[in-house]
Structure 1
Amino acid sequence: MRILHLGFEDPRMPGAGGGSVRTHEIDRRLVANGFEVTVLTTRYPGWQERVQDGVHYVPIGIGAGGNRVMRLAGYVVRLPLEVWKRRATADLVVEDFFAPFSTMAAPLWTKKPTVGVVQWLHAKDKARQYKVPLHWIERLGVRRHRRTIAVSQGIADRLISMNPAVHVDVIGNGVDPAAWKPQPKPGRDILCIGRLEFTGKGLDLLLEAWAKCSDRIEGKLLIAGSGPDEAKLRAAISAAGLSDSVRLLGWLSGDAKFQALSGARLAVVPSRQETFGLVAIEALAVGTPVVAFDIPCLREIVPSGAGWLVDAFDVDALANELADRYAQSGLEKAGEQGRAFAAGFNWDRLADMQADAYHAALAEFGKERSDTRPAPQLQSRP
């Protein structure tokens, strides 16, 4: 099968989120099983067209993509044309949903069988942030899709609420095999890792909670990652007088990321919203218990005994949970339970599930074309 994947973020772009990791991990396994995959992504400084693990990446846009606005605008403007140029060489188009309005309603203009991959449905939050009705664009776009893949049941439920006729396959994210290399060892510090988005990732709430509990915790709060709000985060740490107890580690990936997770006593995920919560699963995989807000998606992947959920956005509750769990004995047992749970998130199995979903989509679209084709007219004999 030849797939044209509208992937938005390039996994090599600094600060790229977990969605681009999912795209690459699934696509490279599909290529290994005989698929041909081309991924169209945004441009960014240093971008280059390349083949990585057999997956053909083509950054598109206008100029170098030096900031978020230009990356988004260039991608949105160029995408229909770039798809049109390549449509003859694709059997199936896959549209990754992306911020701020989720979907460009690709089935309307690709003129090919199209499947939406939904890791993100936060247009309502962005609409409040920017005072623009982005959620109406999201709703209209979702209604144009007939087959989608959601990374969690929470997202699947929201898709169906917007479009009761849509078919949704729930296929989660997987864990990098490198997560199993470090040996679990409860450390001294608490680690938050991910994209540095001050409000979306709840970093403002985390700093407020840390100010309330840091005097009860021996270690530091470590924050790893990069993103658009790094300067804002640094300023907030300084303004709160937390510079001595909070340390920024920068962007971590691969073995360095898993060593940092393994060396933490707790991992904290303070997000206001998540598409799946890959960092939480990765923390569980290395044997580090997780503290997070009780929100959709996260409640699906932070099992009792391996982590703890607190009332959403309750800063006092988060502060108390961090302090109490930090002092708790027997965290090794929680780590063992987390590893056992995370073992079910296997990229090979998930890639097979996604391949099945793609084949089912092609079969459905093919049957529809066959059903709508005019029946042959029988000519009467003289």
Structure 2
Amino acid sequence: MRVLHLGFEDPRMPGAGGGSVRTHEINRRLAAKGFRVTVLTTRYPGWQERMEDGVHYVPIGFGTGGNRLTRLVAYIARLPFEVRKRRSTAELVVEDFFAPFSTMAAPLWTKRPTIGVVQWLHAGDKARQYKLPFHWIERLGVRKHRRLISVSQGIGDRLKDLNPDLHVDVIGNGVDPGAWNIEPRLGKDVLFIGRLEYGHKGLDLLLEAWSHACSSIEGNLLIAGNGPDEERLRTGIQDGGLSERVQMLGWLSGERKFQALSDARLLVVPSRHETFGLVAIDALAAGTPVIAFDIPCLKEIIPPGTGWIVDAFDVQALGEEIALRYSQAGLEHVAEQGRKFAANYNWDALADMQAQAYRTALTELKKPPTRRPHASHAERP
């Protein structure tokens, strides 16, 4: 099958999120099965068109893509033109949802069978942040799709609320095989890994919780990642009097990331919202228990016995949980249970599921859409 994937983020871009990791891990396995996959992404400093693991990456836009806003605007402006140029060689178009409004309603203009992959569905939060109606764009776009792939059941349920006529396949994310190559150990420090972004990732909540917990903990808080709020984070650490107890590691990837996960005593995920939580499942695979807020998608991947869920956004409770679990006896057993659970998240099996979803979509989307019959006046409540 020839697939044109509207992937938005290139996995080689510094600071790229877990969505681009999923895109590549699935696509390279599809390429190995004989799929011909082209991925259109934003440009970024140092971008290049290339073949990587059998996947054709084409960054689109204008100039070097030097900042987030110009990357976003250029991608939106160029995408319909680039799709039009390539659609004669594509059998299926795959639209990745992306911030700030999730979807460009691709089925309206691709002129090819189109399925969406939903790893991001938070336009409402962006609408409140920027006072712009991104959530209405999201709602309209979801209603223009007939088939979507969601990375979690929680996101799948929300999609069905927006469009009851949707068919949604839930296909999660997988564990990087590198997680199994590092020997688990009971470390000394508490770790955060992710994009340095206050609103989404809850870094402000993490610092406040750590200020409550750190006096009871021997180790330090290690923060790995980069992102738009890095300087704000450094200021918050200094203003909170935490400079001696928080260490910033910068961006980690590959073996260095998994070594950091394995060396940590606990991983904390203070996110306000997630669509999956890739770093949490990676931590469980590396043998590190996870503490997170009680939000839908994280509850799915941190079952009892592998970590702990705290009332959403209660920083006092989060701090108390970190201090309590840090000194808890039997963390090795929790780590063992986490590894067993994470073994279910296998990229090869997930790629097989996605391949089948694509084949089914290609068949079903060629048929005229069917609508559920509307109730008559007498049938309506």
TM-score after normalising by structure 1: 0.96
Task: Summarize the alignment of residues 303-342 of structure 1 with structure 2, pairs less than 5 Å apart.
Answer: 303-342=303-342
Other structure's SS at 2:363 match: helix
Q: Which runs of 5+ in 2 are unaligned?
A: 370-381
In the other structure, the counterpart of 2:114 is 114
Equivalent position SS for 1:271: coil
Q: Deviations over 1:23-46 (max 9, x none)?
A: 000000000000000000000111
**What's the secondary structure of 2:199's corresponding residue?**
coil
Q: Does 1:206 align with 2:206?
A: yes
1:368 to partner: Cα distance: 3.9
Which residue in the other structure is 1:277 paired with? 277
Per the alignment, residue 42 of structure 1 pairs with 42
Deviation at 1:18, TM superposition (A): 0.1
Partner amino acid, structure 2, of 1:144: K
Give CA deviations for 1:239-263 in whole Å, capped at 9, x if unaligned.
Answer: 1110100000000001110000000
8 Å CA contact 2:114–2:365 kept in 1: the answer is: no
Distance 2:218 2:45 in 1: 40
Cα distance between partner residues in 1 of 2:44 and 2:22: 19
CA RMSD of aligned residues (A): 0.8
Partner of 2:374: none
Q: Tell me which residue corresponds to 1:376.
A: none
Aligned residues: 369
Q: Give the Å deviation of 1:183.
A: 1.1
Match of 1:128 in 2: 128
SS at 2:126's partner residue? helix
Counterpart amino acid of residue 84 in structure 2: W
2:23 counterpart letter in structure 1: T
Q: Structure 1 residue 349 and structure 2 residue 329: aligned?
A: no
The answer to whether structure 1 residue 227 and structure 2 residue 239 are counterparts is: no
Structure-to-structure mapping, 1:181-200, within 5 angstroms: 181-200=181-200
Give the whole-Å Cα distance in 2 for the aligned partners of 1:301 and 1:62.
39
In 2: Cα distance, 1:109 partner to 1:366 partner: 15
Per the alignment, residue 363 of structure 2 pairs with 363
Aligned pairs for 1:96-175 (under 5 A) are 96-175=96-175
- Answer yes or no: is 1:9 the counterpart of 2:9: yes
Q: CA deviation at 1:367?
A: 4.0
Q: Which has the larger radius of gyration?
A: 1
Secondary structure of 1:324 counterpart:
helix
Q: Distance in 2 between matches of 1:75 and 1:367?
A: 30
Query: Aligned partners of 2:345 and 2:104: how far apart in 1?
Result: 29
Deviations 1:247-301 (CA, angstroms, capped at 9, x unpaired): 0000000111000000000000000001100000000001100000010100000
Partner of 1:248: 248
Quote the residue 1:81 is aligned against.
81
Task: State the Cα deviation string for residues 83-116 of structure 1 (Å, max 9, x = none).
Answer: 0000000000000000000000000000100000
Distance in 1, matches of 2:255 and 2:86, equals 37
Compute the TM-score of the two structures, normalised by the length of structure 2.
Answer: 0.96
In 2, distance between residues paired with 1:294 and 1:366? 40
Query: Which residue is equivalent to 2:71?
Result: 71
Identity over the aligned pairs, expressed in percent?
73
CA distance in 2, matches of 1:352, 1:51: 22
Using the alignment, how far apart are the partners of 2:236 and 2:243 within structure 1? 9
| SS of residue in 1 equivalent to 2:198 | coil
